[in-house]
Amino acid sequence: MALFNVHFFKEKTRKIDLEQLIAYFERIEGIQVEMDEKSVRFKYVQPKLQYDALFIITPKSQVPDIYRLNPRYLDLNFHLEMNILTPEYVAKQIFEIVKNITDTFGFAIYNEMFEDVLVFKMDVLLKVYQMLKEAYIHKNPMLLSEHHQLPKDEVSAILRYLDDHVELQDYYKDLETYVPKYHFLSTEKKNLVLGIEWKEHTLTVFPPYLNFIFYRVGNEIKVIDYEELYPLIDKYLLDVPGFIKGTKVMQKKTAKKIYQVMKKHKFNKITHTFTKESMKRILD
């Protein structure tokens, strides 16, 4: 696994208040603190999406070419390690933790692509991250046979929907509206497709970038192409307020018209064979 590293520096001192740092990390959801004689490790797992990263304090510096850097800044032997293939949506959340650490403790940051140690700047860090990820994928073309690459905006929308899924469920609970999770699937041609389940006569949210609906009628499940379905029911759907573009929801007052469409329309038969796919095999 290739890693993207962010090293922490401090002006004129190497001192870290370890107790304060541990207390800081313990307040972050998804952090597990471990320590032994070799290192202090703050293991982060994104609570909803389960992507991980590691903040680690080591006995010795891990910074390459440290002697060419501005001597005013001293290496704290403390750095972030993150999978280079982490989607940007999650990377931004991890970099927000980095930002908060630098703001709280007065740290600066360094990456091998920087000319020198820098005060934290999200746009600079993201740009370097994107460049290194693109270069890594270009140098390792086999990744594209093992993963599914989608546009960045599309991946971010999909991950945000999943990240906010519980909040959406709470929002629509009183409206008796079902908020489905995605099914990540692969076709016989190894194309990634996204599906949801929808039960007959059930108010439902339709997330963005859907491909197929698994429509449950009694004990039968009908597979429906969302591109065929959407134009038939679009005028009866509402945008989910203040949410991702393309996320739609049924409303009670027009639900009967949608149910009539589902009953009367003869949908094209889907011949695909689907297999389950892992969200972690998506690249942006």
Q: Same domain, yes or no, for 126 and 157?
A: no
Residues paired with 108 in a beta bridge: 9
> Looking at the 3D structure of the chain, how many domains does it have?
2
Q: Same domain, yes or no, for 156 and 135?
A: no
Q: Same domain, yes or no, for 106 and 161?
A: no
* Residue 264 covered by a domain: yes
- pLDDT digit string, tens, across residues 216-237: 998 899 999 999 999 999 999 9
Confidence band, pLDDT 50/70/90 cuts, at residue 146: confident
Beta-strand relationship, 237-239 and 148-149: unpaired
Domain residues for the domain of 222 are 152-280
pLDDT at 267: 92
Report whether 53 contacts 93 (CB < 8 A): no
12/76 Cα distance (integer angstroms): 11
At 61 the three-state DSSP class reads: coil
* Residue 146 covered by a domain: no
Q: Same domain, yes or no, for 159 and 130?
A: no
* Residue 207 covered by a domain: yes
> Domain ends where: 140, 166, 182?
140
Q: Same domain, yes or no, for 236 and 170?
A: yes
Report whether 213 contacts 226 (CB < 8 A): yes
pLDDT at 145: 85
pLDDT of residue 1 exceeding 80, the answer is no
Q: Same domain, yes or no, for 95 and 178?
A: no
Average pLDDT for 98-121: 96
* Residue 145 covered by a domain: no
Q: Same domain, yes or no, for 110 and 200?
A: no
Q: Same domain, yes or no, for 178 and 111?
A: no
Query: What are the DSSP E strand ranges found in the chain?
Result: 3-11, 31-35, 40-45, 52-57, 73-83, 108-110, 148-149, 183-186, 192-199, 205-206, 212-217, 220-225, 237-239, 248-250, 275-276, 282-283
Q: Same domain, yes or no, for 207 and 240?
A: yes
Q: Same domain, yes or no, for 84 and 194?
A: no
216/69 Cα distance (integer angstroms): 62
- pLDDT digit string, tens, across residues 41-99: 999 999 999 999 999 999 999 998 898 999 999 999 999 999 999 999 999 999 999 99
Q: Same domain, yes or no, for 245 and 198?
A: yes
Q: Same domain, yes or no, for 133 and 160?
A: no
* Residue 205 covered by a domain: yes
pLDDT of residue 189 exceeding 90, the answer is no
Contacts of 193 (CB under 8 A, 6+ apart): 185, 186, 187, 211, 212, 272, 274
